[in-house]
Structure 1
Amino acid sequence: MRRRRLRRRRWSDVANGSLPFEDRRAAGRALASALTEFGDSRPLVLALPRGGVPVGYEVANAIGGDLDVLLVRKLGAPGHEELGIGAIVDGDPPQVILNQQVLAQVVLPSGYIHNESKRQLVELERRRSAYLGARAHVPVKGRTVIVVDDGIATGGTMRAALRGVRQKQPARLVLAVPVAPRDSIEALAGECDDIVCLHTPQPFYAVGAHYRDFTQTTDEEVRELLAIATGLEPSAMI
């Protein structure tokens, strides 16, 4: 079994320790500079929408990779939607990945996981249609896959994302993010083969606190970046 490598590459703060990244695309260019070793394998960059797509676009563009989206929807606990009991990961068929540690601490009504999965699947399918149109996802099996987001907070959704990708049998699975808390990164080390994280601030407050411009990425921006990356007109992906 390949030894998993955890690389916490710090990115120099600017403006006397204030926000290190101008925006998501700037963060993506910085992240790409730490991923050049994977360029020879023409990796598949899977970006979590919406905020991960500008980051992933710059990574794929810089290292010569293919770009696709990795659609994941959190399954929230009843009455506490921010508490993730698992997630549903897009695929054929979609995969439900449960967080057994959280499930052991909550009481769920009968049929809750099934119903919540169906509810989140509706939004997942909407996003797939909005971002890809009739285009299928790029196959993962046998590829070097780099999973990218604009940052990580608790890591629950990313854990589900990595497990979902792992089940599709990539040759190598890499997690790459500009910023995340150290404990979340260390907790994810067993889910992939390599981790590259530029900035692990302590204390960690929120992903957006480490960007000057953290304006919400829109569906239209996601569609446009995917169209550019795949050589299609944006209208062809609607």
Structure 2
Amino acid sequence: MFRDRIEAGLLLAAKLRKYKNDPGIVLAVPRGGVPVAYEVAHELGFPIEVVLTKKIGHPMNKEYAIGAASLSGYFVLPHENVSDQYIENEVKNIQARLKEMYKLFMGDKEPEDLQGKTVIIIDDGIATGNTLLGTVNLLRKSKPAKIVIGVPVASRNAVQKLSKEVDEIVAVLIPEEFHGVGAFYENFEQVSDKEVMFYLDKLRELRNAG
């Protein structure tokens, strides 16, 4: 059990210390992953960015993911009764929303080049791993040297699923019984946009000062 996302981030950072000398970047899944990622990026001396991907839902059931889109691309698993026009419209709408989020959190900063780098994706926990799977598929197109997933807590199923797709998955807790990410935090309040910007700005200031 973690007190909050900051404590979880400190414990996770200790497990990821071996990557400290790599040319790397921490990609935080907003919003809950940002306080965790802040501690990891601070410990490793890596820059931090938000990783923005959203699932593409099936036309008959938006909760059922048939793919994912990022600011720079998308992938879709072939499904019957899903037209190219539907995909095109969904991707356009998702990317418009992601652009707004990126501008809010990162301002006018150009995204970092991931080629040849150790990319560490951080979230506050993983239940199914399906959304992160989409993120990993999209990030692979940027040709990073390594893709590592770091989380305070993950279900056993998610770890098995994701470990086949990345170089390493690092979790502080992989419990036998998993009843949702929030069950492993004493304080699991929602993270606001304001808090996200606070952590991103704070790390930028520390890096500039250093």
Amino acid at match of 2:69: I
What whole-Å deviation, never above 9, does each CA across 1:57-101 have from its counterpart, x for those lacking one? 0101112221111111111223432211111122xxx21122x3x
CA distance in structure 1 between the aligned counterparts of 2:177 and 2:60, rounded to whole angstroms: 28
Partner of 1:124: 98
Instruction: Give the whole-Å Cα distance in 2 for the aligned partners of 1:38 and 1:78.
Output: 41
Unaligned 5+ runs, structure 1: 1-19, 233-238
TM-score normalised by length of structure 2: 0.91
Report what 2:17 is aligned to.
36
Contact 1:42 1:64 in 2 (8 A): no
Q: Which has the higher helix share?
A: 2
Q: Distance in 2 between matches of 1:75 and 1:207?
A: 23
Structure 1 counterpart of 2:170: 196
- What is the distance in 2 between the residues matched to 1:86 and 1:122? 17
Cα RMSD for the two superposed structures: 1.7
Alignment of 1:38-57 (within 5 A): 38-57=19-38
Following TM superposition, the consecutive aligned residue runs of length 4 or more in structure 1 with deviations greater than 4 angstroms are none
TM-score using structure 1 length: 0.81
Equivalent residue number for residue 174 of structure 1: 148
Is the contact between residue 89 and residue 160 of structure 1 (CA under 8 Å) also seen in structure 2? Answer: no
Distance across 1 between alignment mates of 2:205 and 2:117: 21
Could you report, residue by residue, the CA deviation over 1:139-168 in whole angstroms, capped at 9, with x for unpaired residues?
A: 211111111111112111101111222211
Q: Aligned pair in 2 of structure 1 residues 169, 110: CA closer, same or farther (>3 Å)?
A: closer
Q: 1:96 corresponds to which residue?
A: 74
Q: What's the counterpart of residue 60 of structure 1?
A: 41
Specify the alignment match of 2:52 in structure 1: 71
2 CA distance for matches of 1:160 and 1:214?
25
Local SS of the residue matching 1:131 = helix
Give the number of aligned pairs: 206
Secondary structure of 2:151's partner?
strand
Provide the C-alpha distance between the structure 1 equivalents of 2:189 and 2:86, rounded to a whole number of angstroms.
33
CA deviation vs aligned residue, 1:176-214 (integer Å, no higher than 9, x gap): 111111111111112211111111223322111111111
Using the alignment, how far apart are the partners of 1:165 and 1:79 within structure 2? 28
Identity of aligned residues (%): 38
Gaps in structure 2 of 5+ consecutive residues: none
CA–CA separation in structure 2 for the residues paired with 1:193 and 1:110: 33
